[in-house]
Amino acid sequence: MTETVQPAQQTPHPTTEYDAIIIGSGIGGLVTATQLAAKGAKVLVLERYLIPGGSAGYFEREGYRFDVGASMIFGFGTEGTTNLLTRALDAVDMQIDTIPDSCQIHYHLPQNLDLKVHRDYEQFIQELSQKFPHEKTGIRKFYDECWTVFNCLNSMELLSLEEPRYLLRVFFEHPLSCLGLVKYLPLNVGDIARRYIQDPELLKFIDMECYCWSVVPAEKTPMINAGMVFSDRHYGGINYPRGGVGQIAQKLVEGLERYGSAIQYKARVKEIITEKGKAVGVRLANGTEYRAKRVISNATHWDTFDKLLPTATPKKEQRWEQRYEKSPSFLSLHLGVKADLLPVGTECHHILLEDWEKMEDPEGTIFVSIPTLLDPNLAPEGHHIIHTFTPSWMSDWQGLSSQAYQDKKNAAAQRLITRLEGVFPGLQEAVVYQEVGTARTHRRFLGREDGTYGPIPQRKLWGLLGMPFNRTSVPGLYCVGDSTFPGQGLNAVAFSGFACAHRVAVDLGVS
Protein backbone atom coordinates (compact mmCIF):
# COMPACT_ATOMS: atom_id res chain seq x y z
CA MET A 1 0.00 0.00 0.00
CA THR A 2 1.26 3.51 -0.73
CA GLU A 3 1.35 5.77 2.28
CA THR A 4 0.44 9.02 0.56
CA VAL A 5 -2.83 9.61 -1.23
CA GLN A 6 -2.16 11.48 -4.45
CA PRO A 7 -4.40 14.21 -5.84
CA ALA A 8 -7.24 13.22 -8.14
CA GLN A 9 -6.07 12.71 -11.70
CA GLN A 10 -9.30 12.84 -13.61
CA THR A 11 -8.42 13.77 -17.17
CA PRO A 12 -7.30 10.69 -19.08
CA HIS A 13 -4.68 11.37 -21.72
CA PRO A 14 -3.66 9.18 -24.66
CA THR A 15 0.03 9.95 -24.12
CA THR A 16 -0.05 8.61 -20.57
CA GLU A 17 1.07 5.02 -20.19
CA TYR A 18 -1.17 3.52 -17.55
CA ASP A 19 -0.23 0.59 -15.36
CA ALA A 20 -3.63 -0.88 -16.07
CA ILE A 21 -6.64 -0.09 -18.22
CA ILE A 22 -9.93 -1.60 -17.12
CA ILE A 23 -12.68 -2.03 -19.67
CA GLY A 24 -15.93 -1.50 -17.77
CA SER A 25 -16.94 -0.19 -14.37
CA GLY A 26 -19.04 -3.07 -13.05
CA ILE A 27 -18.31 -3.99 -9.44
CA GLY A 28 -15.67 -6.50 -10.64
CA GLY A 29 -13.89 -3.79 -12.65
CA LEU A 30 -14.12 -1.18 -9.91
CA VAL A 31 -12.86 -3.48 -7.16
CA THR A 32 -9.86 -4.35 -9.36
CA ALA A 33 -9.29 -0.67 -10.12
CA THR A 34 -9.50 0.52 -6.52
CA GLN A 35 -7.34 -2.32 -5.21
CA LEU A 36 -4.66 -1.46 -7.78
CA ALA A 37 -4.95 2.28 -7.16
CA ALA A 38 -4.61 1.71 -3.42
CA LYS A 39 -1.33 -0.11 -4.12
CA GLY A 40 -0.06 2.92 -6.02
CA ALA A 41 -0.78 1.82 -9.61
CA LYS A 42 -1.97 4.33 -12.20
CA VAL A 43 -5.30 3.00 -13.46
CA LEU A 44 -7.75 4.15 -16.11
CA VAL A 45 -11.29 2.74 -16.13
CA LEU A 46 -13.17 3.11 -19.41
CA GLU A 47 -16.96 2.82 -19.16
CA ARG A 48 -19.26 2.89 -22.16
CA TYR A 49 -22.28 4.12 -20.18
CA LEU A 50 -22.95 7.43 -18.35
CA ILE A 51 -22.54 6.14 -14.80
CA PRO A 52 -20.59 3.33 -13.12
CA GLY A 53 -21.93 0.04 -11.76
CA GLY A 54 -23.14 -1.99 -14.75
CA SER A 55 -25.67 -4.51 -13.38
CA ALA A 56 -25.28 -2.83 -10.00
CA GLY A 57 -26.19 0.59 -11.38
CA TYR A 58 -29.38 2.61 -11.00
CA PHE A 59 -31.68 4.97 -12.88
CA GLU A 60 -34.05 7.70 -11.75
CA ARG A 61 -37.58 8.42 -13.01
CA GLU A 62 -40.29 10.64 -11.55
CA GLY A 63 -38.86 10.63 -8.03
CA TYR A 64 -38.03 6.89 -7.95
CA ARG A 65 -34.47 5.60 -7.81
CA PHE A 66 -34.53 2.09 -9.27
CA ASP A 67 -31.74 -0.49 -8.93
CA VAL A 68 -30.98 -1.80 -12.42
CA GLY A 69 -30.39 -5.36 -11.23
CA ALA A 70 -28.97 -6.45 -7.92
CA SER A 71 -30.85 -5.53 -4.73
CA MET A 72 -30.06 -8.45 -2.40
CA ILE A 73 -26.60 -7.57 -1.26
CA PHE A 74 -24.10 -9.90 0.42
CA GLY A 75 -20.59 -8.83 1.46
CA PHE A 76 -21.42 -5.94 3.78
CA GLY A 77 -20.71 -7.83 7.01
CA THR A 78 -18.26 -6.53 9.57
CA GLU A 79 -16.51 -9.77 10.57
CA GLY A 80 -14.41 -12.44 8.87
CA THR A 81 -12.86 -12.18 5.43
CA THR A 82 -15.82 -12.78 3.10
CA ASN A 83 -17.24 -9.26 3.62
CA LEU A 84 -15.62 -8.18 0.37
CA LEU A 85 -17.71 -5.10 -0.38
CA THR A 86 -16.95 -3.63 3.04
CA ARG A 87 -13.27 -4.42 2.48
CA ALA A 88 -13.16 -3.05 -1.06
CA LEU A 89 -14.60 0.27 0.10
CA ASP A 90 -12.33 0.39 3.15
CA ALA A 91 -9.26 -0.02 0.95
CA VAL A 92 -9.93 3.41 -0.58
CA ASP A 93 -11.18 4.97 2.67
CA MET A 94 -14.88 4.74 1.80
CA GLN A 95 -17.84 3.50 3.84
CA ILE A 96 -21.51 2.99 3.09
CA ASP A 97 -24.31 3.08 5.59
CA THR A 98 -26.27 -0.16 5.21
CA ILE A 99 -29.68 -1.31 6.45
CA PRO A 100 -29.86 -4.90 7.73
CA ASP A 101 -32.58 -7.11 6.28
CA SER A 102 -34.08 -9.62 8.72
CA CYS A 103 -35.05 -12.04 5.96
CA GLN A 104 -33.19 -13.04 2.79
CA ILE A 105 -36.16 -14.37 0.82
CA HIS A 106 -39.82 -15.06 1.30
CA TYR A 107 -40.52 -18.09 -0.92
CA HIS A 108 -43.97 -18.68 -2.46
CA LEU A 109 -43.58 -22.13 -4.02
CA PRO A 110 -45.75 -24.94 -5.45
CA GLN A 111 -47.99 -27.01 -3.14
CA ASN A 112 -48.33 -23.95 -0.89
CA LEU A 113 -44.74 -24.24 0.26
CA ASP A 114 -44.54 -20.81 1.84
CA LEU A 115 -41.47 -20.08 3.93
CA LYS A 116 -38.89 -17.48 4.82
CA VAL A 117 -35.10 -17.62 4.99
CA HIS A 118 -34.57 -15.69 8.20
CA ARG A 119 -31.31 -13.94 8.98
CA ASP A 120 -31.26 -16.06 12.13
CA TYR A 121 -29.97 -19.51 11.12
CA GLU A 122 -31.80 -21.48 13.81
CA GLN A 123 -35.11 -19.79 12.98
CA PHE A 124 -34.67 -20.74 9.31
CA ILE A 125 -33.70 -24.35 10.08
CA GLN A 126 -36.68 -24.69 12.43
CA GLU A 127 -39.14 -23.25 9.90
CA LEU A 128 -37.87 -25.53 7.13
CA SER A 129 -37.84 -28.55 9.47
CA GLN A 130 -41.47 -27.87 10.42
CA LYS A 131 -42.40 -28.12 6.74
CA PHE A 132 -40.40 -31.36 6.33
CA PRO A 133 -40.31 -32.95 9.83
CA HIS A 134 -39.21 -36.34 8.44
CA GLU A 135 -36.08 -34.64 6.99
CA LYS A 136 -35.15 -32.69 10.12
CA THR A 137 -31.76 -34.40 10.54
CA GLY A 138 -30.88 -34.22 6.84
CA ILE A 139 -31.76 -30.52 6.67
CA ARG A 140 -29.45 -29.72 9.55
CA LYS A 141 -26.61 -31.86 8.15
CA PHE A 142 -26.88 -30.33 4.68
CA TYR A 143 -26.87 -26.70 5.78
CA ASP A 144 -24.22 -27.39 8.44
CA GLU A 145 -21.96 -28.75 5.69
CA CYS A 146 -22.41 -25.46 3.85
CA TRP A 147 -21.11 -23.76 7.00
CA THR A 148 -18.00 -25.97 6.84
CA VAL A 149 -17.22 -24.55 3.40
CA PHE A 150 -17.99 -21.02 4.53
CA ASN A 151 -15.86 -21.28 7.67
CA CYS A 152 -12.88 -22.39 5.57
CA LEU A 153 -13.33 -19.43 3.21
CA ASN A 154 -14.02 -16.99 5.99
CA SER A 155 -10.81 -17.82 7.84
CA MET A 156 -8.42 -16.74 5.08
CA GLU A 157 -7.67 -13.67 3.02
CA LEU A 158 -9.37 -14.14 -0.37
CA LEU A 159 -6.90 -13.31 -3.13
CA SER A 160 -5.58 -14.82 -6.36
CA LEU A 161 -5.48 -18.59 -6.62
CA GLU A 162 -3.06 -18.00 -9.51
CA GLU A 163 -0.38 -16.61 -7.20
CA PRO A 164 1.81 -19.46 -5.87
CA ARG A 165 3.40 -17.49 -3.01
CA TYR A 166 -0.02 -16.53 -1.68
CA LEU A 167 -1.21 -20.14 -1.96
CA LEU A 168 1.81 -21.33 -0.04
CA ARG A 169 1.30 -18.69 2.64
CA VAL A 170 -2.39 -19.45 3.21
CA PHE A 171 -1.65 -23.16 3.21
CA PHE A 172 0.87 -22.76 6.03
CA GLU A 173 -1.38 -20.36 7.92
CA HIS A 174 -4.64 -22.34 7.46
CA PRO A 175 -3.78 -25.91 6.38
CA LEU A 176 -7.11 -27.43 7.45
CA SER A 177 -9.23 -24.76 5.77
CA CYS A 178 -7.24 -25.16 2.55
CA LEU A 179 -7.62 -28.92 2.52
CA GLY A 180 -11.33 -28.47 3.24
CA LEU A 181 -11.75 -26.17 0.27
CA VAL A 182 -9.77 -28.42 -2.08
CA LYS A 183 -12.22 -31.20 -1.17
CA TYR A 184 -15.26 -29.08 -2.09
CA LEU A 185 -13.85 -27.37 -5.17
CA PRO A 186 -14.97 -30.11 -7.63
CA LEU A 187 -18.34 -30.73 -5.92
CA ASN A 188 -21.80 -29.43 -6.72
CA VAL A 189 -24.62 -28.79 -4.26
CA GLY A 190 -26.72 -31.67 -5.61
CA ASP A 191 -23.93 -34.15 -4.73
CA ILE A 192 -24.06 -33.09 -1.07
CA ALA A 193 -27.82 -32.52 -0.78
CA ARG A 194 -28.65 -36.03 -1.98
CA ARG A 195 -26.34 -37.51 0.67
CA TYR A 196 -28.64 -36.23 3.40
CA ILE A 197 -32.04 -35.56 1.85
CA GLN A 198 -34.47 -37.93 0.09
CA ASP A 199 -37.78 -36.05 -0.04
CA PRO A 200 -38.25 -35.01 -3.72
CA GLU A 201 -40.06 -31.80 -2.83
CA LEU A 202 -37.33 -30.77 -0.41
CA LEU A 203 -34.72 -31.52 -3.09
CA LYS A 204 -36.69 -29.25 -5.41
CA PHE A 205 -36.59 -26.58 -2.73
CA ILE A 206 -32.78 -26.95 -2.60
CA ASP A 207 -32.82 -26.60 -6.40
CA MET A 208 -34.66 -23.31 -6.01
CA GLU A 209 -32.30 -22.18 -3.25
CA CYS A 210 -29.52 -22.51 -5.86
CA TYR A 211 -31.42 -21.42 -8.94
CA CYS A 212 -32.37 -18.07 -7.49
CA TRP A 213 -28.76 -16.85 -7.70
CA SER A 214 -26.90 -19.39 -9.89
CA VAL A 215 -29.77 -19.80 -12.43
CA VAL A 216 -29.07 -23.55 -12.56
CA PRO A 217 -30.37 -26.30 -10.26
CA ALA A 218 -28.38 -27.83 -7.40
CA GLU A 219 -26.65 -30.50 -9.47
CA LYS A 220 -24.92 -27.81 -11.57
CA THR A 221 -24.30 -25.28 -8.78
CA PRO A 222 -20.77 -25.33 -7.30
CA MET A 223 -20.66 -26.18 -3.58
CA ILE A 224 -18.10 -23.42 -2.90
CA ASN A 225 -20.57 -20.74 -4.05
CA ALA A 226 -23.40 -22.34 -2.08
CA GLY A 227 -21.23 -22.42 1.03
CA MET A 228 -20.84 -18.65 0.69
CA VAL A 229 -24.49 -17.85 -0.04
CA PHE A 230 -26.24 -20.30 2.31
CA SER A 231 -24.09 -19.29 5.28
CA ASP A 232 -23.16 -15.65 4.78
CA ARG A 233 -26.85 -14.72 4.68
CA HIS A 234 -26.92 -15.71 8.39
CA TYR A 235 -23.40 -14.47 9.21
CA GLY A 236 -22.72 -11.09 7.59
CA GLY A 237 -26.36 -11.06 6.51
CA ILE A 238 -28.15 -9.25 3.71
CA ASN A 239 -27.67 -5.50 4.03
CA TYR A 240 -29.08 -2.84 1.74
CA PRO A 241 -26.94 0.23 0.97
CA ARG A 242 -28.73 3.39 2.07
CA GLY A 243 -29.40 5.52 -1.01
CA GLY A 244 -29.63 2.47 -3.30
CA VAL A 245 -27.29 -0.13 -4.74
CA GLY A 246 -25.80 2.48 -7.10
CA GLN A 247 -24.00 3.94 -4.07
CA ILE A 248 -21.51 1.07 -4.07
CA ALA A 249 -20.10 1.92 -7.50
CA GLN A 250 -20.27 5.65 -6.86
CA LYS A 251 -18.26 5.35 -3.66
CA LEU A 252 -15.70 3.06 -5.30
CA VAL A 253 -15.25 5.66 -8.05
CA GLU A 254 -14.84 8.40 -5.45
CA GLY A 255 -12.15 6.32 -3.74
CA LEU A 256 -10.48 5.52 -7.06
CA GLU A 257 -10.17 9.19 -7.94
CA ARG A 258 -8.95 10.10 -4.47
CA TYR A 259 -6.12 7.64 -4.98
CA GLY A 260 -5.06 9.42 -8.16
CA SER A 261 -6.61 7.15 -10.79
CA ALA A 262 -9.30 7.99 -13.33
CA ILE A 263 -12.55 6.86 -14.91
CA GLN A 264 -13.93 8.02 -18.24
CA TYR A 265 -17.61 7.61 -19.13
CA LYS A 266 -19.12 7.37 -22.63
CA ALA A 267 -15.88 5.58 -23.53
CA ARG A 268 -16.81 2.42 -25.43
CA VAL A 269 -13.82 0.22 -26.07
CA LYS A 270 -14.09 -1.14 -29.59
CA GLU A 271 -10.86 -3.08 -29.74
CA ILE A 272 -8.09 -4.39 -27.53
CA ILE A 273 -4.83 -3.43 -29.23
CA THR A 274 -2.31 -6.25 -29.46
CA GLU A 275 1.33 -6.17 -30.53
CA LYS A 276 3.17 -9.44 -31.19
CA GLY A 277 0.24 -11.22 -29.62
CA LYS A 278 0.36 -9.17 -26.37
CA ALA A 279 -2.39 -6.80 -25.18
CA VAL A 280 -0.89 -3.30 -24.97
CA GLY A 281 -3.86 -0.97 -24.98
CA VAL A 282 -7.35 -0.24 -26.27
CA ARG A 283 -9.03 1.71 -29.05
CA LEU A 284 -12.32 3.46 -28.32
CA ALA A 285 -15.25 3.68 -30.73
CA ASN A 286 -14.29 7.36 -31.33
CA GLY A 287 -10.78 6.31 -32.38
CA THR A 288 -8.90 7.44 -29.23
CA GLU A 289 -6.19 5.01 -28.16
CA TYR A 290 -4.90 4.41 -24.66
CA ARG A 291 -1.93 2.26 -23.75
CA ALA A 292 -1.18 0.34 -20.58
CA LYS A 293 1.16 -2.29 -19.20
CA ARG A 294 -1.86 -4.49 -18.50
CA VAL A 295 -5.39 -4.58 -19.95
CA ILE A 296 -8.26 -5.96 -17.86
CA SER A 297 -11.69 -6.68 -19.29
CA ASN A 298 -14.78 -6.47 -17.10
CA ALA A 299 -16.96 -7.23 -20.14
CA THR A 300 -18.44 -10.74 -20.41
CA HIS A 301 -16.33 -13.57 -21.81
CA TRP A 302 -18.25 -13.45 -25.11
CA ASP A 303 -17.92 -9.68 -25.48
CA THR A 304 -14.20 -9.81 -24.66
CA PHE A 305 -13.02 -12.70 -26.79
CA ASP A 306 -15.52 -12.73 -29.65
CA LYS A 307 -15.82 -8.95 -30.14
CA LEU A 308 -12.99 -6.89 -28.62
CA LEU A 309 -9.99 -8.94 -29.68
CA PRO A 310 -8.80 -8.27 -33.22
CA THR A 311 -7.85 -11.92 -33.68
CA ALA A 312 -9.99 -15.06 -33.74
CA THR A 313 -11.15 -16.31 -30.32
CA PRO A 314 -8.13 -18.15 -28.84
CA LYS A 315 -8.42 -21.96 -28.66
CA LYS A 316 -8.42 -22.06 -24.83
CA GLU A 317 -11.29 -19.58 -24.71
CA GLN A 318 -13.17 -21.55 -27.39
CA ARG A 319 -12.90 -24.63 -25.18
CA TRP A 320 -14.40 -22.65 -22.29
CA GLU A 321 -17.32 -21.68 -24.54
CA GLN A 322 -17.96 -25.38 -25.08
CA ARG A 323 -18.30 -25.92 -21.32
CA TYR A 324 -20.26 -22.80 -20.41
CA GLU A 325 -23.18 -21.15 -22.18
CA LYS A 326 -24.97 -17.85 -21.79
CA SER A 327 -27.78 -17.90 -19.26
CA PRO A 328 -30.98 -16.17 -20.37
CA SER A 329 -31.47 -12.48 -19.76
CA PHE A 330 -34.40 -11.08 -17.76
CA LEU A 331 -37.70 -9.43 -18.42
CA SER A 332 -37.62 -6.67 -15.79
CA LEU A 333 -40.50 -4.59 -14.47
CA HIS A 334 -39.69 -1.47 -12.45
CA LEU A 335 -42.90 -0.43 -10.76
CA GLY A 336 -43.92 2.51 -8.60
CA VAL A 337 -46.87 1.44 -6.43
CA LYS A 338 -49.09 3.01 -3.80
CA ALA A 339 -47.65 2.15 -0.39
CA ASP A 340 -50.91 0.85 1.10
CA LEU A 341 -50.66 -2.17 -1.23
CA LEU A 342 -48.17 -3.78 1.13
CA PRO A 343 -49.33 -4.94 4.56
CA VAL A 344 -47.05 -4.40 7.56
CA GLY A 345 -44.55 -7.24 7.77
CA THR A 346 -44.09 -7.64 4.00
CA GLU A 347 -40.53 -8.80 3.28
CA CYS A 348 -38.17 -7.09 0.84
CA HIS A 349 -37.31 -10.08 -1.40
CA HIS A 350 -39.73 -12.70 -2.77
CA ILE A 351 -39.59 -15.64 -5.14
CA LEU A 352 -42.72 -16.97 -6.80
CA LEU A 353 -43.17 -20.25 -8.67
CA GLU A 354 -46.44 -22.14 -9.19
CA ASP A 355 -45.17 -25.32 -10.91
CA TRP A 356 -41.82 -27.04 -10.16
CA GLU A 357 -41.55 -28.22 -13.77
CA LYS A 358 -41.33 -24.58 -14.88
CA MET A 359 -38.56 -23.43 -12.55
CA GLU A 360 -36.01 -22.98 -15.36
CA ASP A 361 -38.46 -21.94 -18.09
CA PRO A 362 -38.63 -18.43 -19.53
CA GLU A 363 -41.12 -16.54 -17.34
CA GLY A 364 -41.07 -19.49 -14.91
CA THR A 365 -39.59 -18.24 -11.65
CA ILE A 366 -40.45 -14.66 -10.67
CA PHE A 367 -38.04 -12.60 -8.53
CA VAL A 368 -39.26 -9.57 -6.56
CA SER A 369 -37.39 -6.91 -4.60
CA ILE A 370 -39.02 -4.02 -2.73
CA PRO A 371 -36.02 -1.98 -1.56
CA THR A 372 -38.18 0.90 -0.28
CA LEU A 373 -39.24 -1.35 2.62
CA LEU A 374 -35.66 -0.85 3.82
CA ASP A 375 -34.91 2.62 2.44
CA PRO A 376 -38.15 4.59 1.93
CA ASN A 377 -36.24 7.55 0.46
CA LEU A 378 -35.90 5.78 -2.88
CA ALA A 379 -39.53 6.57 -3.79
CA PRO A 380 -41.87 9.56 -3.43
CA GLU A 381 -43.68 9.64 -0.10
CA GLY A 382 -46.56 7.17 0.11
CA HIS A 383 -45.10 4.92 -2.59
CA HIS A 384 -42.93 1.84 -2.92
CA ILE A 385 -40.68 0.45 -5.63
CA ILE A 386 -41.35 -3.09 -6.79
CA HIS A 387 -38.61 -4.48 -9.04
CA THR A 388 -39.67 -7.82 -10.45
CA PHE A 389 -37.91 -9.92 -13.06
CA THR A 390 -38.08 -13.30 -14.69
CA PRO A 391 -35.81 -15.18 -17.14
CA SER A 392 -36.30 -14.28 -20.78
CA TRP A 393 -34.27 -15.07 -23.94
CA MET A 394 -33.01 -12.53 -26.45
CA SER A 395 -34.39 -14.68 -29.30
CA ASP A 396 -37.94 -13.85 -28.13
CA TRP A 397 -37.38 -10.12 -28.64
CA GLN A 398 -35.65 -9.94 -32.00
CA GLY A 399 -37.01 -9.08 -35.44
CA LEU A 400 -40.03 -7.15 -34.11
CA SER A 401 -41.36 -3.85 -35.44
CA SER A 402 -41.28 -1.11 -32.86
CA GLN A 403 -45.06 -1.40 -32.31
CA ALA A 404 -44.89 -5.20 -32.04
CA TYR A 405 -42.01 -4.87 -29.54
CA GLN A 406 -44.00 -2.41 -27.45
CA ASP A 407 -47.12 -4.61 -27.52
CA LYS A 408 -45.13 -7.69 -26.61
CA LYS A 409 -43.49 -5.88 -23.69
CA ASN A 410 -46.84 -4.70 -22.37
CA ALA A 411 -48.36 -8.19 -22.68
CA ALA A 412 -45.39 -9.76 -20.84
CA ALA A 413 -45.61 -7.12 -18.10
CA GLN A 414 -49.31 -7.84 -17.72
CA ARG A 415 -48.64 -11.58 -17.34
CA LEU A 416 -46.17 -10.88 -14.53
CA ILE A 417 -48.53 -8.52 -12.72
CA THR A 418 -51.41 -10.99 -12.99
CA ARG A 419 -49.31 -13.75 -11.44
CA LEU A 420 -47.99 -11.43 -8.73
CA GLU A 421 -51.57 -10.59 -7.74
CA GLY A 422 -51.44 -13.99 -5.99
CA VAL A 423 -48.82 -12.63 -3.58
CA PHE A 424 -49.75 -8.94 -3.58
CA PRO A 425 -53.56 -8.75 -4.05
CA GLY A 426 -54.54 -5.39 -5.57
CA LEU A 427 -51.18 -4.89 -7.34
CA GLN A 428 -52.75 -4.02 -10.70
CA GLU A 429 -54.73 -1.16 -9.17
CA ALA A 430 -51.79 0.10 -7.09
CA VAL A 431 -49.35 0.61 -9.98
CA VAL A 432 -48.71 4.31 -10.69
CA TYR A 433 -45.45 4.00 -12.64
CA GLN A 434 -44.19 1.21 -14.90
CA GLU A 435 -40.99 0.69 -16.88
CA VAL A 436 -40.40 -2.58 -18.75
CA GLY A 437 -36.93 -3.86 -19.71
CA THR A 438 -36.24 -6.82 -21.97
CA ALA A 439 -33.15 -8.76 -23.02
CA ARG A 440 -32.61 -5.97 -25.56
CA THR A 441 -32.62 -3.37 -22.79
CA HIS A 442 -30.09 -5.39 -20.78
CA ARG A 443 -27.84 -5.74 -23.83
CA ARG A 444 -28.05 -2.06 -24.64
CA PHE A 445 -27.57 -0.54 -21.20
CA LEU A 446 -25.34 -3.16 -19.57
CA GLY A 447 -23.21 -3.95 -22.63
CA ARG A 448 -23.69 -7.69 -22.15
CA GLU A 449 -24.01 -10.03 -25.13
CA ASP A 450 -27.67 -11.07 -25.49
CA GLY A 451 -28.29 -9.32 -22.15
CA THR A 452 -27.12 -12.52 -20.43
CA TYR A 453 -27.05 -12.76 -16.63
CA GLY A 454 -23.74 -14.65 -17.03
CA PRO A 455 -22.18 -18.01 -17.81
CA ILE A 456 -23.85 -21.26 -16.74
CA PRO A 457 -22.50 -24.80 -17.16
CA GLN A 458 -23.76 -26.52 -20.32
CA ARG A 459 -23.74 -29.82 -18.46
CA LYS A 460 -22.80 -31.01 -15.00
CA LEU A 461 -19.18 -29.92 -14.43
CA TRP A 462 -16.67 -30.49 -11.63
CA GLY A 463 -17.88 -27.74 -9.30
CA LEU A 464 -15.87 -24.57 -9.78
CA LEU A 465 -12.86 -26.25 -11.37
CA GLY A 466 -13.87 -25.18 -14.89
CA MET A 467 -14.27 -21.47 -14.12
CA PRO A 468 -11.34 -19.43 -15.40
CA PHE A 469 -9.28 -17.29 -13.09
CA ASN A 470 -8.14 -13.83 -14.20
CA ARG A 471 -5.21 -14.48 -16.52
CA THR A 472 -6.15 -15.31 -20.10
CA SER A 473 -4.43 -17.01 -23.01
CA VAL A 474 -3.50 -13.56 -24.37
CA PRO A 475 -0.40 -12.19 -22.60
CA GLY A 476 -1.10 -8.87 -20.91
CA LEU A 477 -4.88 -9.42 -20.98
CA TYR A 478 -6.85 -10.34 -17.84
CA CYS A 479 -10.57 -10.77 -17.22
CA VAL A 480 -12.60 -9.90 -14.16
CA GLY A 481 -16.28 -10.11 -13.24
CA ASP A 482 -18.94 -12.77 -13.48
CA SER A 483 -17.33 -14.63 -16.40
CA THR A 484 -14.49 -15.53 -14.05
CA PHE A 485 -14.12 -17.47 -10.78
CA PRO A 486 -16.33 -17.57 -8.72
CA GLY A 487 -19.20 -16.29 -10.92
CA GLN A 488 -22.30 -14.08 -10.56
CA GLY A 489 -23.35 -11.83 -7.69
CA LEU A 490 -21.85 -8.65 -6.30
CA ASN A 491 -19.80 -10.27 -3.57
CA ALA A 492 -18.60 -12.93 -6.03
CA VAL A 493 -17.42 -10.37 -8.60
CA ALA A 494 -15.80 -8.41 -5.76
CA PHE A 495 -13.87 -11.63 -4.97
CA SER A 496 -12.82 -11.83 -8.59
CA GLY A 497 -11.76 -8.16 -8.39
CA PHE A 498 -9.55 -8.80 -5.34
CA ALA A 499 -8.01 -11.81 -7.08
CA CYS A 500 -7.46 -9.99 -10.37
CA ALA A 501 -5.87 -6.94 -8.73
CA HIS A 502 -3.62 -9.22 -6.68
CA ARG A 503 -2.38 -11.12 -9.74
CA VAL A 504 -1.91 -7.94 -11.80
CA ALA A 505 -0.15 -6.16 -8.92
CA VAL A 506 2.33 -9.03 -8.58
CA ASP A 507 2.91 -8.97 -12.35
CA LEU A 508 3.45 -5.19 -12.26
CA GLY A 509 5.65 -5.40 -9.19
CA VAL A 510 3.47 -3.03 -7.16
CA SER A 511 2.12 -5.47 -4.57
Ligand X SMILES: Cc1cc2nc3c(=O)[nH]c(=O)nc-3n(C[C@H](O)[C@H](O)[C@H](O)COP(=O)(O)OP(=O)(O)OC[C@H]3O[C@@H](n4cnc5c(N)ncnc54)[C@H](O)[C@@H]3O)c2cc1C
Q: Output the smallest distance, CB 46 to ligand X, in A.
A: 5
Which residues are registered as beta bridge partners of 366? 352
* 477 dihedral zone (left: phi>0; alpha: psi -120 to 50; beta): beta
* Residue 370 binds ligand X (CB under 6 A): no
Chain residues 139-198 in contact with ligand X, contact rule CB under 6 A: none
Q: CA Rg, the chain, in Å?
A: 22
Report the C-alpha gap between 384 and 387 in whole angstroms.
10
Residue 130 identity: Q
Report the C-alpha gap between 74 and 27 in whole angstroms.
13
> With respect to ligand X, which residue has the nearer C-beta, 117 or 197?
117
Handedness of CA 128, 130, 134, 136 (dihedral sign): positive
* Residue 25 binds ligand X (CB under 6 A): yes
Report the C-alpha gap between 390 and 232 in whole angstroms.
25
* Residue 54 binds ligand X (CB under 6 A): yes
Which of residues 21, 56, 226, 333 is near ligand X by CB under 6 A? 56
> With respect to ligand X, which residue has the nearer C-beta, 6 or 395?
395
Q: Output the smallest distance, CB 228 to ligand X, in A.
A: 11
What are the distances in angstroms from CA 105 to CA 118, 122, 222, 346, 498? 8, 15, 21, 11, 28
* Residue 24 binds ligand X (CB under 6 A): yes
* Residue 330 binds ligand X (CB under 6 A): yes
* Residue 222 binds ligand X (CB under 6 A): no
Report the C-alpha gap between 313 and 301 in whole angstroms.
10
Among 445, 456, 470, smallest CA distance to 297 is for: 470
* Residue 88 binds ligand X (CB under 6 A): no
Residue 95 identity: Q
Report the C-alpha gap between 5 and 176 in whole angstroms.
38
What distance lies between CA 37 and its chain's CA centroid? 22
Q: How many residues bind ligand X (CB under 6 A)?
A: 38
* Residue 368 binds ligand X (CB under 6 A): no
| Interaction mask 285-304, ligand X, x per CB under 6 A | -------------xx---x-
Q: Output the smallest distance, CB 201 to ligand X, in A.
A: 25
* Residue 490 binds ligand X (CB under 6 A): yes
What distance lies between CA 226 and its chain's CA centroid? 14
Chain residues 458-487 in contact with ligand X, contact rule CB under 6 A: 481-482
Instruction: Tell me the window of 22-30, 187-195, 225-233, 500-508 that interacts with ligand X (CB under 6 A).
Output: 22-30
* Residue 23 binds ligand X (CB under 6 A): yes
Instruction: Tell me the window of 131-139, 225-233, 333-341, 488-496 that interacts with ligand X (CB under 6 A).
Output: 488-496
Instruction: Tell me the window of 19-27, 112-120, 134-142, 167-175 that interacts with ligand X (CB under 6 A).
Output: 19-27
- SS3 helix, strand, coil % of the chain, rounded to 5? 40, 25, 35
Positions that interact with ligand X (CB under 6 A): 23-29, 46-49, 54-56, 69-72, 74, 268-269, 298-299, 303, 330, 332, 389, 446-448, 453-454, 481-482, 488-490, 493
